Amino acid sequence: MQQVILGRTGISVSRLVYGTLPMGPLQAALSPEEGGRLIRHALEQGITMLDTAELYGSYPHIRAGVEGYRGQLTIVSKTHAPDAATARSHVERGLRELGRERIDIVHCHAARVADPFVDRSEVIEALLKMRDEGKIGHVGLSTHYISAVRKAARHPEIEVVHPLINRTGMGIIDGTAEEMSAAISDCAASGTGIYAMKALAGGNLISSARESIGYVLGLPGVHAVALGMLSTEEIEANVRLFSTGGIDPDVWQQLESRTRHLRIMERFCKGCGQCVPACVNGALSLVNDKATVDEGVCVLCGYCGAACPEFIIRVV
Ligand code: SF4
Ligand code: SF4
């Protein structure tokens, strides 16, 4: 597996980063043992960076996967805290649940915050303080905004940016895929480490996974790409794709034709209804102020995912 230096952090990481959101309770709800086995398999295949977040519920899976592991490892987490005290408690919990003395990178998880340098300034300050205390290695920013990527390039204290990018631009809040990729390129040129998220748009681009991953891997300035993976076959196929560009057509055909469902993370649904008119098939409605899908009508086109401001609709 090819290693790259993640900007001015100086950390060497695998180009394929293991995203642990899908294995956690918000999506596939694997047990910590099942998730841990997949994580360990990935580490043994040469993946060296694991991506998680306070919200993902995957700390137990990671802890199980890295237990006794002595190889190269970088763990990244994120805090969605609105204030400094909550940010500190999130990091402390991460340290406790992961069983570590330091988390290598912690992002201000500001996916849908237009200007985290204004709206989450005290969170960023708290993270920098914890970096100085040795509890965090480097401070980063995860975002769906092009403007935030551009602003991060002018903030050298933010050493890593985790931006949303995919070939359709699905989920980018303030512009197109081309505009986000230009911002990423400029941000990386300033010395910031970049690893991309949502190359498959939360599962919506799974039927063109190889093409979609290739698009993001080929963008200037993208050092690495985080992907959620739920089987050893998927891990091995992606490791091979990232390492050599090689594919086993039978395996990929199977991966790209998996049975899929529309998943709405009900817990985070605000009941705003913006997804309902986005579905031209009439598959969505609000029931008790929560979006609900009629699976008999849904054609899994994924258009509703782009309309949801909370980004909580996925094809999985
Ligand atoms: S995936 Fe397509 S068909 Fe299904 S609910 Fe969303 S917009 Fe409608
Ligand atoms: S757009 Fe998102 S938050 Fe709004 S009702 Fe639909 S699923 Fe819920």
Residue 268 shares a structural domain with residue 188: no
- Rounded CA-CA distance 143/305 in Å is 17
Lowest mean pLDDT among 5-14, 135-144, 269-278, 300-309: 300-309
Which tokens go with 310? 């909370």
| Number of separate domains in the chain | 2
Query: Which CATH number fits the domain that encloses residue 169?
Result: 3.20.20.100
Residue 117, ligand 1, Cβ within 6 A = no
Does ligand 1 come within 6 angstroms of the Cβ of 279? yes
Q: How many CA atoms lie within 13 A of 148 on its CB side?
A: 29
Report CA-CA distances (Å) from 312 to 133, 191, 286.
Answer: 35, 32, 15
152 in the same domain as 94: yes
Q: b or e along 232-262 (b: 16 or more beta carbons within 10 Å of the residue's beta carbon)?
A: eebbbbbbbbbeeeeeeeeebeebeeeebeb
Q: Among 144, 269, 292, which is best to mutate for testing ligand 2, by the most ligand atoms less than 8 A from CB?
A: 269
The alpha carbon of residue 189 and the mean position of all alpha carbons in its chain are separated, in whole angstroms, by 22
- Ligand 2 proximal residues by C-beta, below 6 Å: 264, 269-275, 291, 308, 310, 312-313
Instruction: List the domain range (segments joined by +) for residue 68.
Output: 3-255
Q: What is the 3-state secondary structure (H, E, C) of 83-96?
A: CHHHHHHHHHHHHH
Domain end (from 205, 222, 255): 255
| Shared domain check, 162 and 140 | yes
Residue 209: CB atoms within 10 A of its CB come to 21
Strand partners, 75: 50
Ligand that lies nearest to the alpha carbon of residue 295, given by its number in the listed order: 1
CATH number for the domain spanning 280: value is 3.30.70.20
159 and 185 part of one domain: yes
What residues form DSSP beta bridges with 286? 291
> Does 169 share its domain with 269?
no
Nearest alpha carbon, ligand 2 atom 8: 269
Task: Looking at the structure, tell me whether residues 162 and 268 fall in a common domain.
Answer: no
Ligand 2 centroid from CA 293, angstroms: 11
Retrieve residue 280's tokens. Answer: 């031209």
Q: Mean pLDDT throughout 276-299?
A: 88
Same domain? For 281 and 150 the reply is no
With contact defined as beta carbons under 8 Å apart, do 137 and 104 qualify?
Answer: yes
Same domain, 267 and 251: no
Claim to verify: residue 251 and residue 115 sit in the same structural domain: yes
Same domain (yes/no): 249, 266: no
Q: Which of the ligands is closest to the CA of residue 272? A: 2
Task: Quote the tokens at residue 301.
Answer: 């086109």
- Ligand 1: which residue has its CA nearest to atom 8? 279
Range in 177-191, 275-289, 301-315 the model is least confident about: 301-315
Measure the CA–CA gap between 43 and 37, rounded to whole angstroms.
10
Encode pLDDT of 142-196 as tens digits: 998 999 999 999 999 999 999 999 998 887 889 999 999 999 999 999 999 999 9
C-alpha distances in Å from residue 149, one per residue of 10, 54, 291: 20, 22, 31
Condensed to tens digits (0 to 9), the pLDDT of residues 80-131 reads 999 999 999 999 999 999 999 999 999 999 877 889 999 999 999 999 999 9
Look at residues 221, 237, 255 and tell me which one is the last residue of a structural domain.
255
Look up the pTM and report it: 0.85
The answer on 231 and 143 residing in a single domain is yes
- For CA atoms 166, 170, 174, 176, give the dihedral sign: positive
d(CA 59, CA 65): 10
Alpha helices in 48-142 (DSSP H): 59-66, 84-98, 116-119, 121-132
Domain match, 235 and 306 both: no
**Is the distance from the beta carbon of residue 283 to the nearest atom of ligand 1 less than 6 Å?**
yes
Domain end call among 226, 255, 284: 255
